[in-house]
A = this chain, B = another copy of it.
């Protein structure tokens, strides 16, 4: 029923529908577009304005070198299998998951157990590759093994998936034909920048890199103060292998990302105390590694102090994510935080949690919150030789003992000419261990020989030109590369979950769908309904409509000839929280009726009183009870 409403009321639609559509691409119609804009608006207030984050808007087109450095060119891939006979392409992890799930269902049926529940509706939604469930009883050991694999399904590498496919005889479910072993398929869309076609570029798969590249300018904008955060809202792109889950797996999507830069030696957060008692439902990695999915409810303060969550800043953001999701209408009973397992986390990440929302597609990651450590700033800095660091004046200078390189510039310059700069940079960026080794070589052989990128031959430096010795010096400034905590929001997935979490069916004369959005995200806040087309009512409709526009409260007029009840029902489907009825009493005493969508309760007051109530409820966030405390209850005209 919800699907029908979303389509009919044009919340969203497959893009290029009249051309047959392209899977994984969707357009938002007017109510979907407004809902999206409102979610973004709440996000901006809840995160960016509340914490003075520095918002930036970076390009989606990105040259090859940036994603080569970040690791996306080599590693941002899913594993796909091809059927050489039919040309069909499957995403390997999804295929293994679907086949094993369908076998478990067949087993349950063979054992005479029901396989109903959330899984059944899930089946209806996802257009699955496995169309038919074979009723075959499995050995108890096999069932346990399948369940174990499924609990860990997000953690397998391509070759491991290939082994599972061989072990469990997984083939093309449609034809029974064999599949190729999993091959990596890079998910970035590629294009060429400029008329020569020689500058390879990609559409960004996340907004993060643009923020990292601007780190120095951002730190400068923040007057060199740490910690701080940048933020960005914009489209990203992933060339999904076979998207078949509506808005939950798309090729072009809106993201909102925060990069919070923090001193690696101090990941405390000044506002952690404000959230520490908030209880979250957690699914830690140890639980998953044991093949379990039981949730642990725990105060975030305790989660951090007991080491379940790595640090305060990460914990602070998990709590803030929770508060944001509740504000826009997510059902807390259908929200959990799942920790990444060691093998599914990027090697550089210190810890990573996903906020997962449950819908008819199952539990789906909607927000990621990762501690990316110093990885990104370090790799870009190494590649470009641009320092992406924080310099902090020390209150008390410290004495440092370290190996230092000294070059005899008079000899060095003429000897190496144009290669000199590269060799010098190479030497100055060596680790203390390397320098210690060099120092020993110089002591024993009176020379060192090194290979420098970009210099053709091996470089030999003799001890008359270079000296490397341990020296002690006072440091007045501490330099460090900040760590990055990254809360990353998939707005489309959140939006779809909000639609499902707020959908209710009202019984009465026929089944009527209601979208119970919180007023703050509802596409339209107020429906204006004149009782009839009598011209005496029109001036009031016009006046109230103009007054609402002045208050920047989106409203719609429905002056059709349908009954009032019918007109309200139509707008319940759009999630419009308030309705104002203008009737003949209005002409006499300027009173109007205000109706609340969920309870269908009504109150009566003057135009000014009702507008004030609408304002405090839809802008300031007051409840119906708070907003209408001074108004008279009114019996329905419906």
Contacts and interface: CB of A to CB of B under 8 A. Distances in A.
Interface in A118-172: none
Interface stretch (A27-35, A312-320, A627-635): A27-35
A56 B28 contact: yes
Interface string A70-101: 00000000001000000101000000000000
Interface string A552-575: 101010001000000000000000
B189 A61 contact: yes
Interface in A370-418: 380, 383-384, 386, 388
A190 B191 contact: yes
Contact of A57 (B28, B54, B191): B28
B59 A10 contact: no
A194 interface: yes
Contacts of A560: 223
B189 A59 contact: no
Nearest to A8: B220
A33 B234 CA distance: 12
A89 B59 contact: no
Main secondary structure of the interface of A (DSSP, over half): mixed
A290 interface: no
Nearest to A25: B59
Contact of A252 (B19, B59, B199, B217): B59
Contacts of A199: 22
A66 interface: yes
A217 B13 contact: yes
Given A28-B56, A55-B34, A217-B29, A80 B16 contact: no
Contacts of A89: 195-196
A235 B60 contact: yes
A213 B61 contact: no
Contact of A54 (B15, B30, B58, B242): B30
For this complex, into which size category does the number of interface residues on chain A fall? 35 or more
A59 B15 contact: yes
Given A191-B191, A241-B195, A386-B18, A56 B80 contact: no
A28 B233 CA distance: 12
A117 B19 CA distance: 53
A193 interface: yes
Given A10-B217, A241-B195, A19 B56 contact: no
A192 interface: yes
Contacts of A9: 221
A36 B232 CA distance: 13
A63 interface: yes
Of A22, A23, A26, A241, which is in contact with the most chain B CB atoms at under 10 Å from its CB? A22
Contact of A16 (B23, B32, B213, B388): B213
B190 A195 contact: no
Name the 5 nearest CB pairs between A and B, nearest first: A28-B57, A18-B386, A27-B58, A18-B384, A30-B54
